[in-house]
Amino acid sequence: MLDVQRIRADFPILQRTVNGKPLVYLDNAATSQKPRAVIEALKDYYERYNANVHRGVHTLSQEATDAFETVREQVARFIGARHSEEVVFVRNTTEAINLVSYAWARRVLQPGDEVIVTEIEHHSNLIPWQLAARDTGAVLRLVPLRDDGTLDLDRYAAILSDRTRLVAVSHMSNALGTINPVADMARLAHEQGALVLVDGAQSVPHLPVDVQALGCDFLAFSGHKMLGPTGVGVLWTRREVLESMDPFLGGGNMILQVWWDRAEWQEIPFRFEAGTPDIADVVAFGPALEYLSALGMDQVRAHELELTRYALARLREVEGLVIYGPQDAESRGGVFSFGLGDIHPHDIGTVLDAEGVAIRAGHHCCQPLMRRLGVPATARASFYLYNTPEEVDALVAALGKVQQIFGRARATV
Amino acid sequence: MNTGLSSLDELYREVILDHYQSPRNRGRLADPDVANAGSNPLCGDEIELSLRIRDGQVADVAFDGRGCSISQASASMMTEAIKGKPLEAVRAVLGEFKTLMTDKNAEAVDAAALGDLEALQGVRRYPVRVKCALLPWNVLQESLELYRAGQARGGQHE
């Protein structure tokens, strides 16, 4: 098991108080906190070897390039990629998906071709496909959500066809916590000749993820949700597919030869990394990957599974509380969207904040999903490796405070 | 302002929760002179406002919608504050309330004269929630502009 108290000591921000109370940070699905090693790597880079990468003959540039490329290899190992050149650095998951939408989908999709997404998607795995469909005449198909918060896989099998070019699905829902069976979905898609993009923004930080086991063709995720700095996203693409793709952005670093009227592209992955990348943040993403690897992603998952079981049990004790999404711990991650009677999520969030408990209140970039659930918004508590059962207790106690305030009003009318 | 209450108690004053739980003037007018809606895309708060205007006065007003306690209580209080008032007075209270919520010169506003609305001062300490409190007032402001534009085109009652 994880030694959570020791882990917590590595995260300086967890020492702070909010409104006079110890911080209980439960907004990890939005972004995670950073261990000292990551923060120090940023400082170290700027103090010792700040330079542009892939350009200079001088020592600093060589050191920066080595550090940058070492992290590419670390990322490849972390997700089980066969080749580090399959790893493209972008800004975030959203940019990774848009890269596929522009550099692959718009060149491949023909009128009448189909792209399958699901009702559980974050806007970032929906809008890029809406736009690509609009530009190409392709058709967007939806895998419906069942009432238990899981995807309707019978419907999925039924809408897959030889017209399907791409299946774009999130591995773990940021709103419901549902873990989708993407390996099975990928196998079915490949039988129809379609490619598969997995949005791993929520899964790569929390589950062991191996692209060979998933069998997907694209995997997109963000460093900042997995202990790394903001500004780093990853697009992993199977080599044959990536090599077949034209550039996304044009500019420096992505070319071999340039004439006034044309250019030859660089090899992968540099073909997709035009301009100066976010060097410092990529370099500091390295210690984040090391931190997770040292703990072991199976251990991270085991810890969160235990927290999830405990949170499900404790939250069910709260009168009037409804948990959206799967009700069993095994088929979900540590992301809990909930409602509390008719109290608006904003009011829940404000009262919890006064108690030092940080959660998210809103539509979680899933407006169509919120409509499907019949609510304008939900409150969302999301856990990570440094969270404890005592913090679940703090959440439950703070929810009691919410009920106290809003129950008081009801008693007077 | 120091009433000895915590800032959370200051935000969720009894009078606010009372307006939230038992909203005044809730619904839609059957025959409004102007009807308008607004929303806060961040949190999904929605307010619909309908006004009947006679002799330059707000003869009747109703609001509908859903959202957090602050947006709904603010709407309820707003309808009470403007019902039966001449349009100039409505514009004045609109301006004073916006100043109270957003302006550095908020002290210049005589909050006590705003009646129940005074209770919303506690929201100022929660910048994210100021948008909630202002939503119905922004809908009111637009409604008055729509009404004035309609008048200028020579339509409608009065």
pLDDT tens-digit series, residues A326-340 = 999 999 999 999 999
pLDDT tens, position by position, A30-63: 999 999 999 999 999 999 999 999 887 899 999 9
A413 contacts in chain B (CB < 8 Å)? 18, 21-22
Asked whether the domain spanning A38-294 has the same topology as the one spanning A4-30+296-404, the reply is no
CB-based contact A406 B17, cutoff 8 Å:
yes
CB atoms closer than 10 angstroms to residue A198: 30
Give A410's pLDDT tier (boundaries 50, 70, 90). Answer: low
> pLDDT band for position A223 (50/70/90)?
very high
A362·B42 Cβ contact <8 A: yes
Contact flag A376-B46 (C-beta cutoff 8 Å) = yes
Give the pLDDT confidence score for residue B1 in this predicted structure: 44
Where in the sequence numbering do the catalytic residues of A fall? 365
Report the gap between the CA of A151 and the closest CA in chain B (Å): 25
Q: Do B20 and A405 touch (CB under 8 A)?
A: no
Cβ contacts of B18 on chain A, cutoff 8 Å: 409, 412-413
What pLDDT band is residue A21 in, cutting at 50, 70 and 90?
Answer: very high
A410 to B21: CB separation less than 8 angstroms, yes or no: yes
More confident residue, A3 or B3: A3
Structure tokens at A82: 């066969």
Inter-chain residue contact B17 with A405, CB threshold 8 Å: yes
Q: Residue with structure tokens 């017209």?
A: A163
Nearest to A344 among B6, B8, B67 (CB): B67
- Per-residue pLDDT, averaged over B7-34, amounts to 93
With an 8 Å Cβ cutoff, are B68 and A347 in contact? Answer: yes
Interface test with A, best of B15, B17, B123 (most A CBs within 10 A): B17
What is the percent of chain A where pLDDT is above 90?
92
Report the distance separating Cα B140 and Cα B138, nearest Å: 5
Amino acid B96: pLDDT: 92
pLDDT band at A413 (very low <50, low <70, confident <90, very high): very low
Between chain A and chain B, the number of residue pairs with CB atoms below 8 A apart is 62
- Using a CB-CB cut-off of 8 Å, the residues of chain B touching A347 are 12, 68-70
The residue among A18, A27, A340, A346 with the most chain B CBs within 10 A of its CB, best to mutate, is A346
Residue A350 is nearest to which of B17, B66, B126, comparing CB atoms?
B126
Residue A209 has pLDDT above 50, yes or no: yes
| Pick among 3.40.640.10, 3.20.20.110, 3.30.230.10, 3.20.20.240: CATH of A38-294 | 3.40.640.10
Q: Identify residues of B whose CB sits under 8 angstroms from chain A CBs.
A: 6-8, 11-12, 14, 17-18, 20-22, 42-46, 66-70, 126, 129, 132
Going from N- to C-terminal start, the domains of chain A cover 4-30+296-404, 38-294
Q: Do residues A348 and A200 touch, judged by C-beta distance below 8 A? A: no
B18 vs A346: CB contact, 8 Å cut-off?
A: no
Q: To the nearest whole angstrom, how far is the Cα of A208 from the nearest Cα of chain B?
A: 33
Task: Say if residue A256 is exposed, middle or buried (CB neighbours under 10 Å; 0-12, 13-18, 19+).
Answer: exposed
Of A187, A195, A148, the closest CA to residue A167 belongs to: A195
- Identify all chain B residues contacting A361, using CB atoms and an 8 Å cutoff: 43
Contact B44 A351 (CB under 8 A): no
What's the distance, CA B26 to chain centroid? 13
d(CA B129, CA A32) in angstroms, rounded, equals 24
Name the residue of chain B whose CA is nearest to A363's CA: B43
Instruction: Give residue A364's region: left, alpha or beta (phi > 0; psi -120 to 50).
Output: left
B23: closest chain A residue by CA:
A413
pLDDT at A248 over 80: yes
Cis peptide before A12 (omega within 30 of 0): no
Are B68 and A344 inside 8 Å of each other by CB?
Answer: yes
Compute how many other C-beta atoms are within 10 angstroms of the C-beta atom of residue A145: 22
ipTM of the complex: 0.85
Nearest-CA residue of chain A relative to B18?
Answer: A409
How many Å apart are CA A38 and CA A171, to the nearest integer? 26
Residues in A lying within 8 Å of B, measured between beta carbons: 343-347, 350-351, 354, 361-363, 370, 376-377, 405-406, 408-410, 412-413
Taken in order of first residue, the domains within chain B and their CATH numbers are 7-151 (3.90.1010.10)
- Letter string b/e over residues A26-45, b meaning 16 or more CB atoms within 10 A of that residue's CB: bbbbbebbbbebbbebbebb
What b/e string do you get for A119-135 counting C-beta neighbours within 10 Å, with b at 16 or more? bbbbbbbbbbbeebbee
Q: Which CATH architecture has domain A4-30+296-404?
A: Alpha-Beta Complex (3.90)
> Please, what is the end-to-end C-alpha distance for chain B in angstroms?
43
pLDDT reported for residue A408: 58
Confidence class for position B5, pLDDT limits 50, 70, 90: low
| Residue A410: closest C-alpha in chain B | B21
Give contacts of A370 with chain B, Cβ < 8 Å: 44
